[in-house]
Structure 1
């Protein structure tokens, strides 16, 4: 194969759902060290849910191997799968109607350690899919598809982008862009109920909405000594929101309070103390309200 450490590769093309119960297919998969799902049609992959193939792939990961893929193969490896069984939806369509008939999900297929409550998306930048990922996450939280009450989106760009998750839960980006997004889960109106963004990759995104003129959203983050956090928030025109960087006791360390509905906010903070500290991002409604989502990109440099 010309790849370091790879001495063989077996390719199977399955054309029917029941092929997932083929004996030779499952023997080959169970003997593999990594299972790669090619791009194509994730609806066909979702049809293997409940077949012997599902358990065979899971056995590869259980023994220390891996599972992944590109495009449709990336989609199928999240616990909530946008299966596209009714057709493919664009960001514009999904944002206009998160219950568009083209949006359908398959759940309960693969459940990987350290990868719960996730929806994968692909061709992320080239096909402008951040919008539809936001709609998918909103649906997952609203419809209870993610039992933790929050939802993560992982979008990977085409042309060599990948996000590798090791057995300890550490995610590493390779190649082109990979994005990790955390959707707001109510109630998160206090530090005690803050959304947990401590595992958010860098750069990563947190999103929510200002449901009332007194709404505030908290997200818990961590920062190591000597690291600098930069927060850039895109605010919709429906309201004016301000952003605060708080210490573990709720004291304000940095803030961004640009005046005007739709005015974006940004701030920067550097941790000088030793060790790793816990902080909170506080997004507050200053005037106006609405369900239109804000998106804050957090980068740790």
Structure 2
């Protein structure tokens, strides 16, 4: 969300075309007037049935003609024309309609600028919306848009989708079209701020405004790579789960980059036009999401889409993602890329009851570079993969006197991996080296000396490699 609108410029030709259709409505002395600028035909189309719904989710405020054209064609079924309404909360010009009116299949485009929450109940505003077949929310400040929750405008927009029309938006307009809206009503969050404290004052949300078919439990974000917003989307997802805002204990962040757009068809299939978009799934409770403390969350599942690629929101995939984590506010490296998991036949189990989980952070190929898991809650689920035939993953932990460590590792069929339990000097205390790809491993040791000591779990590739995860459960007794 940007605190300022994208520049809204009315072309000379468009200005001449709308002089006779400019009609202020809902004027009161208490606030600036609602403005209505209609371009194209002065008469709405009339038709018994439409073929949508269709949606466009844009990473920045401007119209992306590729997805807008697809939505128009889907709604009109390839024949006839539709009326479009653009809703804005500020500005006096019509950059969205300037583009839309030039597209095939458009009968008219009306820009409505609403400057107060009460404008959501304006009669002319709601008549225009209900007579339209597509509603586009312009860029700006989504806090202004969520103020229309509960007004007649909310129901009017929903009626457009219900009759087979469509809805979309860019930047702030993209935010308001998700199930859980990051409203930014207190301040605009950065990734650093959100990861350092997922309950920072800048993380505020609105729910119960729009829930589009196939798009439940989503949180949209915009200008995604351009403004480095992966971290804050991770925090949004963790907050949604922790706060119980989702229907099934899972949340999907949908981040779309600048000048990119998702077209979502009536069956829930999203297709990207432009540079990139990301779907970020959180499917378990965060390990640490507490006010005033950094976020810890393991194994966000991330799908990266490039131009022409798809994501099915109706049948959400269980494969093709890469994994990234946040540990004490520090995210994994290279958040915007990763090796997709292609072997999803045996997904990692959830953390044991009362325990936590941790995903390896490379490089961890030696004891000196070991991932420190000593501060985690046990039982602890550790996941990683053997990225090469010589890969080694080290995890450091501590044991108290007379404390027993037990490690049980589920190994995928893509490779054969062995485990070693080492003392603080690197000597092998015990090991498990079962033969065969997919052969599970287990080992245990007990600290028989006084005080607290450091130990290492060493997971080593014996033969083969791949992106499929091994899963090791560490218990102390």
* Residues 241-280 of structure 1: pairs in structure 2 closer than 5 A: 241-243=383-385, 252-254=412-414, 267=466
- Map of 2:270 onto structure 1: 171
Specify every segment of 5 or more residues in structure 2 that has no aligned partner in the other structure, as ranges.
Answer: 1-100, 287-300, 304-314, 328-340, 346-358, 363-370, 374-381, 387-409, 420-455, 460-464
Whether 1:115 and 2:215 are equivalent positions in the alignment is yes
1:141 positional shift: 0.4
Structure 1 runs (4+) greater than 6 angstroms displaced: 256-261
Change (3 A) 1:204 1:19: farther
1:75 positional shift: 0.2
1:14 positional shift: 0.2
In 1, the alpha carbon distance for the partners of 2:318 and 2:177 equals 18
* Residues 57-136 of structure 1: pairs in structure 2 closer than 5 A: 57-136=157-236
SS in 1 for 2:108: coil
1:242 positional shift: 1.7
In 2, the alpha carbon distance for the partners of 1:22 and 1:153 equals 33
Cα RMSD, aligned residues only: 3.7
In 2, the alpha carbon distance for the partners of 1:158 and 1:66 equals 22
In 2, the alpha carbon distance for the partners of 1:258 and 1:129 equals 38
8 A Cα contact 1:117 1:151, kept in partner = yes
Specify every segment of 5 or more residues in structure 1 that has no aligned partner in the other structure, as ranges.
Answer: 188-194, 211-217, 223-232, 245-249, 269-280, 289-301
Larger Rg: 2
Q: How many residues align?
A: 244
In 1, the alpha carbon distance for the partners of 2:163 and 2:418 equals 52
- Map of 1:155 onto structure 2: 255
Whether 1:6 and 2:106 are equivalent positions in the alignment is yes
- Map of 2:471 onto structure 1: 284
* Residues 18-57 of structure 1: pairs in structure 2 closer than 5 A: 18-57=118-157
In 2, the alpha carbon distance for the partners of 1:15 and 1:182 equals 35
SS in 2 for 1:8: strand
In 1, the alpha carbon distance for the partners of 2:221 and 2:197 equals 18
8 A Cα contact 1:241 1:287, kept in partner = no
1:204 positional shift: 4.7
Q: Pick from 293, 305, 316: which aligns with 1:199?
A: 316
8 A Cα contact 1:80 1:105, kept in partner = yes
- Map of 1:274 onto structure 2: none
Change (3 A) 1:284 1:18: same
SS in 1 for 2:168: strand
Change (3 A) 1:254 1:49: same
TM-score by length of 1: 0.70
1:166 positional shift: 1.1
In 2, the alpha carbon distance for the partners of 1:75 and 1:148 equals 21
In 2, the alpha carbon distance for the partners of 1:105 and 1:78 equals 11
